[in-house]
Structure 1
Amino acid sequence: MNTAIKKSMARLTAAAFIACAMSALPVTAAQAQQPAPSLGDVTVNVFPGGFNWPSYVAEDKGFFQQHGINVILQATTGSVAQMTDLSQGHFDIAMTAIDNIVAYVEGEGEAPIGPQPDFVAVMGSDSSFLSLVAAPDIKTYDELRGKTLSVDARTTGYAFVLYDMLARKGLKPGDYTVETAGGMTQRWTALQHHMQVATLLSTPFNILARNEGFNQIVAATDVIGPYQGNVAATRRSWARQNKPKLVAFIQAYVEAIDWLYDPKNHDEAIRILLKNVPQMSPELASTTYGELLDPKAGFFRKGRISVPGIKTVLALRTRYAMPHKALKDPMKYYDPTYYRAAMH
């Protein structure tokens, strides 16, 4: 072998060695932040409120973009509108109570759209942070007798949570009246205007209520135990056709929850919340941080689904929904396929 060929082979060997060594090096932070190829838009329908914080963070910090999706948040006025629009494909993902998904799969929803076996939960979020809040002159369960309370819808959402909380304290359905008032914002407004005397409110509405002299009687989970509240839900058909988008959404949302729970991000997290909910005061935002990111009762770590929490939902529907159905299988309403792909 002549000298020129030997030198050429030596250079190729060195280049190959360097390439292998470089491929074994850890990915730098700058490289890791490079956005993925664009997958397009994902429209997410939400109830207004601070519990959308992970979505606000994922947008502000670029987590959605890094995973290749452009998320459009779309507000709803209540579960009837939200579930109707979901059935018609007017958006891609709903952040909603899993009870809504169970109700419409079983054909027990309040909207006249019939059974929706295509509805499915794909990721957890939280327990819904529900508290029973009453007018300033109502301080005990017993003082609710003969009074009017509000719910989003009588047969879905958190109505059964309210019924069960009252039943455990000796109040039967005939002991009080229930009116539908819509989503959290609408129920809080109705409570302020004395249209009803009590309702279930999520953070930060319960904090607003306390600040205005209303009484927070008890947190729902202190009465009924583990509860799966909000989830990311979609249609099975959309999920199958858009798996990369759905997996990307879950990954970004989970990253946002991780980011929120990191104490060093406290001040920036507050800034992001105030930017997205400008009517919120810094003091309210700080109190909201303490509740939504409580280590024991805050957002579910890693966006996990609480199977015991789903079982509570099913037990409540079995007890209170009409016509009566015995619901026992959580996996009928939750498909872990996409979450597992996202966490892989």
Structure 2
Amino acid sequence: MTRLDIVIFAGASNWPLWIAQHHGLFAMRGLDVRLSITPGSAQMARDLFDGTAQIALTAFDNVIAYAEGHGAVSLPETPDFFAFAGFDNGLLSLVGAAGFDGIEALRGQTIAVDALTTGFAFVLRALLADAGLGMDDYRLEAVGGGAQRLEALIAGRQAATLLNSPLDMIAAEAGCTPLRRARDVIGPYQGIVGAARRGWAQANPSILAAFVHAMHDALAWLADPANRDDAVRLLREKMPRLDARLADRAYEMLVHSPDALTRSLEIDRAGAEAVLDLRRRHGGQAIAAADSGVFIDQTIRDSVLT
């Protein structure tokens, strides 16, 4: 068995990971997978850079940010991060704290993000700009990953934040107010990807191939109607704030809706270009890359699944 350490954020994008662990799909491919939940993208980048983790499930924007040298924390050198597989479109919604019933109500307020220059901060800026709020009309505060932002929102410490599903469902159940779905404003968007260092991937292609194969198997298992009840039980075990009703809604969204997890593991190139475009428009820093393909290499995914 080969040990593989993976750093993740809280949320249902990890569902296939949990399935692969629970049902021995990683073990069938010779992998002993260890998962660690990161408090935010800065720690994720440190762990991936120094080899504490060999793979991260993270926003594609994080890959671009650190590969371009624009990350929220400084690393000893510009990292060779790249994306090798796609998992979702971000599943993002802007959610207001209790009492904030419209985006205009966020004027002059503090809004939570993971980090100011990475992650989904530019999606948030695009949603606020679409509603007529300029960058001087609100304040952003780096709070951390989705779990941390959810707690800050429910506690009333922040006026709003972006949350992915089903964290947005949990927030609404706690009295918070869904304000706008990201895809209704920005269209295609590449959210969570599998990321690694190029040097590690080139030295360990069989390990990366085994991981991709196991994840594909897990997504196929999740999509099988015969496994629905078991899948929902596992999701509730891993996300105990989901009651049965919310877990059923999460299943329908993540398996059967247009926002479903990406069974093919293919990166959405139009969505990847949207990520790069948002960073160009709202990032305030020049982007050296001509297109998003610079940050993507799906060779292993293609060799395993086609």
Do they superpose with TM above 0.5? yes
1:43 aligns with 2:8: no
Q: Is the 8 A contact 1:318 1:326 kept in 2?
A: no
Tell me, what secondary structure is at the counterpart of 1:304? coil
1:323 deviates by 2.2
- Superimposed CA distance per residue, residues 146-203 of structure 1 (whole angstroms, 9 cap, x where no aligned partner): 1111100010000000001111111100011111111111111111221111000111
Would the aligned equivalents of 1:105 and 1:115 in 2 still touch at CA under 8 Å? no
1:75-224 alignment to 2 at 5 Å? 75-113=37-75, 116-224=78-186
Give the equivalent residue in structure 2 for 1:274.
Answer: 236
1:316 aligns with 2:278: yes
Give the match for residue 27 of structure 1: none
Which segment drifts farther, 174-183 or 257-266?
A: 257-266
**Separation in 2, partners of 1:162, 1:336:** 28
Give the partner amino acid of 1:223: V
Distance in 1 of aligned mates of 2:217 and 2:172:
32
Q: Which residue of 2 aligns with 1:242?
A: 204
Query: Residue 209 and residue 279 in structure 1: after superposition, are their counterparts in 2 closer, same or farther (change >3 A)?
Result: closer
**Aligned partner (choices 205, 212, 215) of residue 253 of structure 1:** 215
User: Is the Cα–Cα contact under 8 Å of residues 170 and 241 in structure 2 kept in the other structure?
Assistant: no
Q: Secondary structure at the match of 1:90?
A: coil
**Residue number in structure 2 paired with 1:65:** 27
In structure 2, C-alpha distance between the alignment counterparts of 1:288 and 1:108, rounded to whole Å: 34
3-state SS, counterpart of residue 303 of structure 1? coil
Between 229-238 and 109-118, the greater mean CA deviation after superposition? 109-118
Moved more, 226-235 or 216-225: 216-225
How far apart are the structure 1 equivalents of 2:243 and 2:79?
Answer: 42
| Alignment pair present for 1:307 and 2:301 | no
Q: Is the 8 A contact 1:108 1:115 kept in 2?
A: no
SS at match of 1:199: strand
The CA distance in 2 between the partners of 1:241 and 1:326, in whole Å, is 27
Relative to the length of structure 2, the TM-score reads: 0.96
Gaps of 5+ in 1: 1-37
| Letter paired with 1:236 | R
For 2:291 and 2:301, the matched residues in 1 are separated by 19
2:242 and 2:78 map into 1 onto residues whose CA distance is 37
Percent identity (aligned): 40
Bigger Rg, structure 1 or 2: 1
2:258 is aligned, of 296, 304, 315, to 296
SS at match of 1:301: coil
What amino acid does structure 2 have at the position aligned with 1:339? R
> Deviation above 2 Å: which 4+ runs of structure 1?
114-117, 274-284, 322-328
Q: Secondary structure at the match of 1:44?
A: strand
Q: Deviations over 1:231-288 (max 9, x none)?
A: 0000001101111110010011111112212222111111221233344322222122
RMSD of aligned C-alpha atoms? 1.4
Hey, what's the Cα distance between the residues in 2 that align with 1:150 and 1:327? 28
Of the three residues 226, 246, 251, the one matched with 1:284 is 246
Contact residue 184 and residue 202 of structure 1 kept, 8 A: yes
Aligned pairs, number:
306
For 1:140 and 1:276, the matched residues in 2 are separated by: 32
Unaligned runs of at least 5 residues, structure 2: none
**Shift of the alpha carbon at 1:291?**
2.0
Query: 1:90-126, CA deviations, whole angstroms, 9 ceiling, x for partnerless residues?
Result: 1110000010000000000011116534111111000
CA distance in 2, matches of 1:275, 1:146: 39
| 8 Å Cα contact 2:154-2:176 kept in structure 1 | no
The change in CA–CA distance for 1:148 and 1:130 in structure 2 (over 3 A counts) is same
CA contact (8 A) 1:108 1:322 kept: no
Equivalence for 2:192: 230
Cα distance change of structure 1 residues 312 and 291 upon mapping to structure 2, 3 Å threshold: same
